[in-house]
Each structure stands twice: as structure tokens, then as C-alpha cells.
Amino acid sequence: MNNAFLSIESHPDSLIVNVKGQWIFDEVLALEEAVAGVLPEPGQKVTFKCAGLDNIDIAGAWVLYDCTEQLSVLEIESELVGFKAAHFKFLQHIIDVAAIREYEEPDSEPEPRHLIREKVELFGGAMSTHIEDLGAIARSILDGVRRPSLIIIGETIKQVYYTGVQAIPVVVVITFLIGIVTAHQAAGQLEKFGATVLVVDLVSISITREMGVLLAAVMVAGRSGSAFAASLGVMKLNEEVDAMRVLGLNPNQMLVIPRILGLVIALPVLTIFADIAGIAGGALIAVGSLGISGLQFVERVAFSTDLSDFYVGLVKAPVFALLIAMIGTLRGMQVRFSAEELGLKTTMAVVQSIFMIIVADALFATLFTRMGI
């Protein structure tokens, strides 16, 4: 048998394998196929001769070594002859390294009983760290309230700017558009009953009670919840949080509290902007295409929408803000090891905070209906 890498001569008591060509990394696949063709008869001794070997590297040497190993498992003797020093160096290296390897025992598989116990322990551990983290944050809130420092106030103002002021344009635009959409959809249905003017009622009540605050909160969860988790996570990975702790600073107080406070201030304000923009969107459609005059629109809004509707929306904002900020910062602080975990926790922060916002909104809706507001 002959190919680019081997030529084999069979004698009664020996098999001469002439190794030639390029025994390098790129050819490993072909080399393995070639080596599989070395099939000595029982009793034959295999001799690898380095006849025309051009190049060999670690990968090529390994294929050759692996072949001799497999032959020795079959109790067939093999030897390497006539290798140039430069080429044999690689083979010797592999043989040396392989000697270390044989010395090492493979790990035994853990028993399934232990696996279950490990899982339970892992779950318990995770739960206790969650509770611990939450407790630490709650305690630092108390500490922060008792001894407010200038740094925290400054940082809080910064957070209000990042999470609130910078979010105004996008929140205004989306609620304005949703106002337009709501008005259009309502007009299509209400026109059939000749009650077009009720579009105004529908828009203003739905925006102030539900849509305004909900859209603002979802937007903020996407913007700031992820930002909280990511920035705190990177700080954890860079050991910045540990550095703070060693300097005697409480990272919860320095990092978590300003973000929570900042968002609790920012989201209600954003909600007011959202309400105004949403109603303005409705007004555009009502005045522009439904033939309701501007004065009529204002009158209708004042008639249909109580201040309590507005409060019902607004009162939810700080609660949503608390949820977003707590989940975002908690997830960020939980990042421990890797960049991948950072991504995972950031995703969790956003998904869980939006989920919790909707759950909380449903609870509020039930509560307010019971209360008759």
C-alpha cells in the first residue's frame, strides 16, 4: 500500500513502513486514515522508517505515536528507525508527555445518589445567597436612610439623570404613538355606534390608568434594568466591589441604593410625561381625522377622566421602579465568574423585571376594582 504519507513493504516476519511527506497539523485527518492502513499479520514486527519525511510537528508526531501505542495494545512490536534528530525531537517530546499522562488516574464518575444531594445543596445554597443579598440590601437601605451621605445623594442625582432625563425622548415618542394607535382602533369600533366622541374618554382613561405607566416602566426595565445588571456585574468581575468593601465602603449603600432611589424618583416623573404624550397622540387623531374640535377634546378629557384615574396610574410608578431597580441590581451583584454569566444575569434582570411589572399591574388592577376606584 502506498500513498503520500506511507509506503508499506511486507516481509514474512516484518512490516516496513516508510514514513514520508508532510506530517503536520493540517494533514491530521489524512494521516489518521493512512495510519489505519498499517495492518500487520500476527507475528510481524513493525518498523517505521523515516525515509522521505519532509516535515513533522507535534500533531503529526502524535498520530505516529498513537499508532505504535495501538499496535502495542495488540501485542505487536514496533520501532522507530532512522529519524533525523530534528524530527525525532517531536516524537521524543510526545513520548515524554505521554509518560506523564499514564501516570494520571482518570476521575471516577460520581454516583447518582451524590448527584441528587449536590443538586439539593446547590439549590439550597442559591436560595440562601438570594435571601442574604436581599437582607444586605434592605439593611443598607436602613443605614442609608439613617446616615445619608453626600456621595449617595450625588450618585442618586446622576442616576435620575441617566434613567429618567435621558429616557424622556424615547418614552414620549412611544406613548405618543400608542396614543395614536389606541385612538385609531377605538374610532373604528365606536363610529359604528355613532359615539366617536367617546374615543377621547377611552384614550385618556386607558393612557392615564394603565398604558402610560406600563409603557414607561417596560421601557425603563429594558433601558435601566439591563444597565444596572450589566454595570454592577462588570464591577463585580473587575473586583471593584471587593475593593469598595476593603476600603470600608458598603457597596450596597454606594451602588445599589442610589440606583433604587434614582429610579423611584425618575419613573413617576417619566409616567407624567408618558401620560401627556399619550393623550397628545390621541388628540392628534381626534382633532385631525375624527372631526372633534380642540376645545371639545379638552372638555371631554376633563369630564371623563378624574384626578383619581391619574393617581391610579401614578401610584404604581414607584412600585414598578422599586421592582426594576431591585431585580436589576440584585442580578448584577450575583455575577461571579464569567462574561457569559454577566449576559445571563442581564437577560434575567430584564425578563424578570418586566414579568414582575405585569404581575404587579394585575394585582393593582384587582385591588383598585375591589376598592372601587
Q: Which of 314, 282, 269, 286 is nearest to 176 (CA)?
A: 282
Q: Please report how close the Cβ of residue 59 comes to other proteins at its closest, in angstroms.
A: 6
Identify residues 105-164 at the interface with other proteins (CB under 8 A).
107
Q: Please report how close the Cβ of residue 337 comes to other proteins at its closest, in angstroms.
A: 4
Residue of 7, 16, 45, 59 that binds other proteins (CB under 8 A): 59
Taking each helix axis from N to C terminus, what angle separates 294-304 and 257-289, rounded to the nearest 10 degrees? 130
Whole-angstrom distance, CA of residue 133 vs CA of residue 135: 5
Stretch that binds other proteins, among 26-34, 121-129, 212-220, 223-231 (CB under 8 A): 26-34
Q: Which is nearer to other proteins, 89 or 117 (CB)?
A: 89
Q: Is 32 in the site for other proteins (CB under 8 A)?
A: yes
Q: Which is nearer to other proteins, 75 or 107 (CB)?
A: 107
Taking each helix axis from N to C terminus, what angle separates 168-190 and 212-220, rounded to the nearest 10 degrees? 140
Q: Please report how close the Cβ of residue 241 comes to other proteins at its closest, in angstroms.
A: 15
Q: Please report how close the Cβ of residue 355 comes to other proteins at its closest, in angstroms.
A: 25
Identify residues 315-354 at the interface with other proteins (CB under 8 A).
336-341
Q: Which is nearer to other proteins, 55 or 166 (CB)?
A: 55
Q: Which is nearer to other proteins, 229 or 301 (CB)?
A: 229
In sequence order, which residues have a C-beta less than 8 Å from that of residue 12 and are 6 or more positions away?
none
Q: Please report how close the Cβ of residue 229 comes to other proteins at its closest, in angstroms.
A: 17
User: Hey, what's the cell of 95?
Assistant: 513520548
Q: Which is nearer to other proteins, 84 or 158 (CB)?
A: 84
* Contact map string, positions 261 to 300, toward other proteins, x by CB under 8 A: ----------------------------------------
Applying CB under 8 A, the site for other proteins has a residue count of 28
Q: Is 83 in the site for other proteins (CB under 8 A)?
A: no
Q: Please report how close the Cβ of residue 97 comes to other proteins at its closest, in angstroms.
A: 5
Determine the residue type at 335: V
Q: Please report how close the Cβ of residue 33 comes to other proteins at its closest, in angstroms.
A: 11
Residue of 16, 22, 66, 272 that binds other proteins (CB under 8 A): 66
**Full 3-state SS string of the chain:** CECCCEEEEECCCEEEEEEEEEECHHHHHHHHHHHHCCCCCCCCEEEEEEEEEEEECHHHHHHHHHHHHHHHHCCCCEEEECCCHHHHHHHHHHHHHHHHHHHCCCCCCCCHHHHHHHHHHHHHHHHHHHHHHHHHHHHHHHHHHHCCCHHHHHHHHHHHHHHCHHHHHHHHHHHHHHHHHHHHHHHHHHHHHCCCCHHHHHHHHHHHHHHHHHHHHHHHHHHHHHHHHHHHHHHHHCCHHHHHHHCCCCHHHHHHHHHHHHHHHHHHHHHHHHHHHHHHHHHHHHHHHCCCCHHHHHHHHHHHCCHHHHHHHHHHHHHHHHHHHHHHHHHHHCCCCCHHHHHHHHHHHHHHHHHHHHHHHHHHHHHHHHHCC
Residue of 1, 11, 26, 195 that binds other proteins (CB under 8 A): 26
Identify residues 171-200 at the interface with other proteins (CB under 8 A).
none
* Contact map string, positions 87 to 116, toward other proteins, x by CB under 8 A: --xx--xx--xx-xx--x--x---------
Q: Is 58 in the site for other proteins (CB under 8 A)?
A: yes
Q: Which is nearer to other proteins, 100 or 295 (CB)?
A: 100
Q: Please report how close the Cβ of residue 92 comes to other proteins at its closest, in angstroms.
A: 8
Stretch that binds other proteins, among 82-90, 121-129, 222-230, 324-332 (CB under 8 A): 82-90
* Contact set with other proteins (CB under 8 A): 24-26, 28-29, 32, 57-59, 62, 66, 86, 89-90, 93-94, 97-98, 100-101, 104, 107, 336-341
